[in-house]
Amino acid sequence: MPVVVIIGGQWGDEGKGKIVDLLAEKACYTVRFSGGDNAGHTVVNQFGEFKLHLTPSGIFHQTCTAVIGNGAAVNPAVLLRELSELKRSGVDTSHLLISRRAHVIMPYHILFDRLEEKGRGEQAIGTTQKGIGPAFADKVARLGIRVGDLLDHDVFYRRLKQVIEHKNTILTKVYGAEPLSVDEVYRTYIEYGKELEPFVQDTEVIIADAIRAGKMVLLEGAQGSLLDPDFGTYPYVTSSSPTIGGAILGSGIAPAAITACLGVFKAYATRVGSGPMPTELKDETGDFIRKRAQEYGATTGRPRRCGWFDAVAGRFTTCINGFTGIALTRLDVLDVLPAIKVCVAYELQGQRLKHFPSNSETLSRCQPVYEEFQGWLAPTSGIRRLADLPLKAKRYVEGLEELLGCRMDIISVGASREQTIMVR
Ligand code: GDP
Ligand code: IMO
Ligand code: MG
């Protein structure tokens, strides 16, 4: 049975939540493997509309165990709030599992995220201020608190005391901020631990057993490949890996078990936060797309920067992830545009660039070279079969397939589960 990884091919918000909710119907497990509540995954189904930050998007299917894997970072307050909201909407959340190894977002992570962003001044990354960067930095600095630690009160207290003393030195001496109280944080997080305990497991072993038993497993990417700390527009990136490598590391799945890697792309481009975006439209067309598509961040509400599809960046993310297929979302947003552009190359000082540049300074100086496609000027949101797409829409889709060097598996023409064309 398939083990399918679902990965954002752009700068996040490609519609991964919708695609995972759709595919989870047949899956036994859905695993979030990276990021934290910086993610906002919108799911629209029979229960309503949800913007999930931590809960895997497979939660709506009773038969699909939703796993927060070892590679994710958990803010317990956010997760508990999300679970009670889901329950209020009639969604059973008892089939959630949280890895004992997942790191916990602590109050000082959020404080440092804010203070560090402020300190960056004009070079601020535009983080979601959820404490993600500081939490993953602590993970590799061996200063992290893991979900399993919250369940062992003595171990947790000793560890927390050591870490908070260290953090308080920086808070007070570098930032002139108020120190945190070890006892207060301890009491709050012990309570969180009690509430989370029923869900906490060695999920890596459970997933491995499921794969051995031939069950279908979905791995739900957060963020997008161009926000990857290695392959993205560094330093304007996030702090855990949203790409295929992160899927393996963040779930404990062996690479050879993966049978497909689906790249989710929206039919144009968006980005939230700072950093280069060669096809950004700072004009009325960009404003028009933002308004029509309601391109505002699911986590922070910030307006998303909108632009044309960037096939140079897309080819790069297809290559590094080894996408075996593409899920193209939001095609319907383009229904009303008479002409649609796609960036097919970059130009830098009169030279054509063959590859996606490795540094943000170079990328920010690149000029996009566009190919223009004719708009189809017809509604697509009611279409369910590829054959019924307007000819010009089909040409656009085929053009993207050719530019990315990858076949379309799914075309999404609306936010809800059923507004989907299953190509394969
Ligand atoms: P994610 O973070 O990748 O899950 O994406 P977000 O949820 O942040 O943003 C995607 C937005 O597009 C959400 O508002 C979805 O409801 C919406 N969406 C997903 N697929 C489609 C589609 O095919 N058409 C339209 N119009 N909206 C879509
Ligand atoms: P989903 O899963 C879009 C962006 C932030 C910022 C940068 C670093 O919904 O696609 P961070 O808080 O991670 O340190 O911020 O990454 N970012 C996202 N942009 N979608 C997301 O998640 C994002 N998660 C982080 O805007 O530019
Ligand atoms: Mg999102």
pLDDT above 80 for 377: yes
Ligand 1 centroid, distance to 17 Cα (angstroms): 7
Ligand 3 centroid, distance to 170 Cα (angstroms): 32
Same domain, 334 and 303: yes
pLDDT of amino acid 298: 83
- Looking at residue 175, the DSSP 8-state letter turns out to be S
Model confidence pLDDT, tens digit, residues 183-217: 999 999 999 999 999 999 999 999 999 999 999 99
pLDDT of amino acid 354: 80
Strand partners, 29: 65, 217
Same domain, 64 and 212: yes
Any ligand 1 atom below 6 A from CB of 330: yes
Same domain, 83 and 216: yes
* Cα(233)–Cα(242) distance, integer angstroms: 13
Point out the domain boundary residue: 237, 261, 285: 261
Any ligand 2 atom below 6 A from CB of 8: yes
Burial of 15 (0-12, 13-18, 19+ CB in 10 A): buried
pLDDT of amino acid 48: 96
DSSP 257-317: G--EEEEEEESSEEE-SSS--TTB--SHHHHHHHHHHT-B-TTT-PBPEEE-EEHHHHHHH
- The CATH number linked to 409 is 3.90.170.10
Q: Is the pTM of this model over 0.75?
A: yes
CA 325 to chain centroid: 18
**Catalytic positions:** 13, 41
CB atoms within 10 A of CB 373: 21
* Cα(323)–Cα(263) distance, integer angstroms: 6
Point out the domain boundary residue: 218, 243, 261: 261
Model confidence pLDDT, tens digit, residues 38-56: 999 999 999 999 999 999 9
Any ligand 2 atom below 6 A from CB of 242: no
**Mean pLDDT within 227-231:** 98
pLDDT of amino acid 300: 87
- Which of 128, 302, 306 best tests ligand 2's pocket when mutated (most atoms within 8 Å of CB)? 128
The torsion of the CA quartet 278, 133, 174, 122, rounded to 10 degrees, works out to 10
The label of the residue with tokens 């500081």 reads 134
Any ligand 2 atom below 6 A from CB of 134: no
Same domain, 41 and 113: no
Instruction: Name every residue whose Cβ is closer than 8 Å to that of residue 361 and which is 6 or more positions away in sequence.
Output: none
Model confidence pLDDT, tens digit, residues 387-401: 999 999 999 999 999
Average pLDDT for the chain: 97
Ligand 1, atom 25: closest residue by C-alpha: 414
Question: H or E element: which one contains 412?
Answer: strand 408-412
Ligand 1 centroid, distance to 277 Cα (angstroms): 20
* Cα(329)–Cα(327) distance, integer angstroms: 6
* Cα(204)–Cα(236) distance, integer angstroms: 31
Model confidence pLDDT, tens digit, residues 303-312: 999 999 999 9
Note the ligand closest to the C-alpha atom of 14: 1
Same domain, 73 and 220: yes
- The CATH number linked to 242 is 3.40.440.10
Same domain, 232 and 120: no
Note the ligand closest to the C-alpha atom of 35: 2
Q: Which domain holds residue 130?
A: 103-196
Same domain, 47 and 182: no
3-class secondary-structure state, position 190: helix
Model confidence pLDDT, tens digit, residues 169-188: 999 999 999 999 999 999 99
pLDDT above 90 for 424: no
pLDDT above 80 for 149: yes
Pair 20, 56: CB distance under 8 Å: yes
Ligand 2, atom 11: closest residue by C-alpha: 127
Same domain, 238 and 285: no
Instruction: Name every residue whose Cβ is closer than 8 Å to that of residue 347 and which is 6 or more positions away in sequence.
Output: 353, 366, 367, 368, 369
- The CATH number linked to 125 is 1.10.300.10
Ligand 1 centroid, distance to 422 Cα (angstroms): 17
Any ligand 2 atom below 6 A from CB of 43: no
Mutual orientation of helices 311-321 and 391-404 as an angle, nearest 10°? Answer: 60
pLDDT of amino acid 68: 98
Burial of 353 (0-12, 13-18, 19+ CB in 10 A): middle
Ligand 2 centroid, distance to 282 Cα (angstroms): 21
Same domain, 242 and 94: yes
Any ligand 2 atom below 6 A from CB of 222: yes
Number of folded domains that form the chain: 3
Instruction: Name every residue whose Cβ is closer than 8 Å to that of residue 169 and which is 6 or more positions away in sequence.
Output: none
Point out the domain boundary residue: 218, 238, 261: 261
Model confidence pLDDT, tens digit, residues 86-107: 999 999 999 999 999 999 999 9
Any ligand 2 atom below 6 A from CB of 27: no
Ligand 2, atom 20: closest residue by C-alpha: 12
pLDDT of amino acid 362: 97
Helix residue spans in 66-220 (DSSP H): 76-88, 107-120, 132-140, 153-173, 182-196, 203-212
Same domain, 91 and 220: yes
pLDDT above 90 for 1: no
Same domain, 317 and 364: yes
Model confidence pLDDT, tens digit, residues 246-299: 999 999 999 999 999 999 999 999 999 999 999 999 999 999 999 999 999 888
Ligand 1, atom 12: closest residue by C-alpha: 15
Strands 269-271 and 29-32: unpaired
Q: How far is CA 16 from CA 68, 94, 189, 327, 374, in A?
A: 16, 23, 31, 9, 27
Same domain, 148 and 283: no
The label of the residue with tokens 């794969």 reads 211
Give which of 234, 254, 231 is closest to 242, Cα–Cα.
Answer: 231
Model confidence pLDDT, tens digit, residues 319-367: 999 999 999 999 999 999 999 999 999 999 999 998 999 999 999 999 9
Ligand 3 centroid, distance to 350 Cα (angstroms): 36
Length of the chain: 424
pLDDT of amino acid 299: 85
- Which of 330, 331, 384 best tests ligand 1's pocket when mutated (most atoms within 8 Å of CB)? 330
Any ligand 2 atom below 6 A from CB of 232: no
